[in-house]
Chains A and B, each alone.
Chain A
Amino acid sequence: MTPRNAGKQMLSHVGAHLGLVLASMFALFPIAWVVAMALDQGSEAHPTSLRLWPAEPSAEPFRRVLAHPTEIEGISFFDLAVNSLLLAGGTAVACIALGSLAAYAFSRFNFSGRRAGLVGFMVLQLFPPVASMAPLFVLLSALHLRTSLFGLALAYASGTLPFAIWNLKGTFDTVPRELEEAAVMDGCGPFRTFWQVVLPLAAPGLAVTTLFGFMAGWTEIVMAWTFLEDPRTFTLSMALYNMVGQYGTTRPWSEFAALSLLLSFPVVVTMLLLQRFIVSGLTAGSVKG
Chain B
Amino acid sequence: MKTGRQGWLALGFIGPAALVMAAVTLYPILYGVGMAFTDFSVRHLRHQNPDFVGLANFWAILGGSKALGISFPRILGFNLLWTVVNLVFHVSLGVALALLLDRPGLRGSRLYRAALILPWAVPTYVTSLTWRNMFDAQSGAVNLLLASRGIEGPDWFAHFGTAFAAVLTTNVWLGFPFMMMVTSAGLKAIPKETMEAAALDGASAWQRFRHVILPQLRPTLVPAVLMGFIWTFNQFNVLYFVGRGEPLGQTEILVTQAYRFVDPLGLYGTASAFALLIFVILLGFTLLQMRLTRAVEDRA
Contact = CB atoms under 8 A, between A and B. Distances in A.
A and B touch in the complex (CB under 8 A): yes
Interface of A: 9, 12-13, 16-17, 19-20, 23-24, 26-31, 33-34, 46-50, 94, 97-99, 101-102, 104-106, 109-112, 114, 117, 121, 123-128, 130-136, 138-140, 154-155, 157-159, 161, 163, 165, 190, 194, 215, 218-219, 221, 237, 240-241, 244, 256, 260, 263-264, 267-268, 271-272, 275, 278-280, 282-283, 285-289
A102 B17 CA distance: 6
Contacts of A158: 20-21, 24-25
Contact of B124 (A13, A106, A159, A219): A219
A121 B29 CA distance: 13
For the complex of A and B, 5 pairs with smallest distance between CB atoms: A131-B275, A131-B32, A50-B144, A105-B13, A135-B31
A267 B121 contact: yes
A104 to B, nearest CB: 6
A33 to B, nearest CB: 5
B117 A132 contact: no
Contact of B10 (A111, A128, A140, A278): A111
B139 interface: yes
B265 interface: no
A236 to B, nearest CB: 10
A219 B103 CA distance: 35
Contact of A136 (B24, B35, B230, B279): B24
Given A97-B16, A111-B11, A263-B123, 10 more contacts: A19-B100, A20-B100, A105-B10, A131-B36, A136-B24, A139-B27, A140-B24, A267-B122, A283-B182, A287-B219
Majority SS of interface residues in chain B?
A: helix
Interface of B: 3, 6-7, 9-11, 13-14, 16-18, 20-21, 23-29, 31-33, 35-36, 45, 48, 93, 96-97, 100-101, 103, 105-108, 112-127, 129-131, 134, 136, 138-139, 141, 144-145, 147-148, 173, 177, 181-182, 184-186, 188-189, 219-220, 222-224, 227, 230, 234, 254-255, 258-259, 262, 268, 271-272, 274-276, 278-279, 282-283, 286
24 contacts: A16-B103, A20-B100, A23-B112, A50-B141, A102-B18, A106-B14, A109-B7, A126-B230, A126-B279, A128-B234, A131-B36, A132-B32, A134-B262, A139-B23, A154-B20, A158-B24, A218-B123, A221-B125, A241-B125, A256-B129, A263-B123, A282-B181, A283-B186, A283-B188
B224 A134 contact: no
A268 B122 contact: yes
Contacts of A190: 9
Contacts of A194: 13
B16 A101 contact: yes
Contacts of A121: 21
Nearest to A101: B13
Nearest to A221: B125
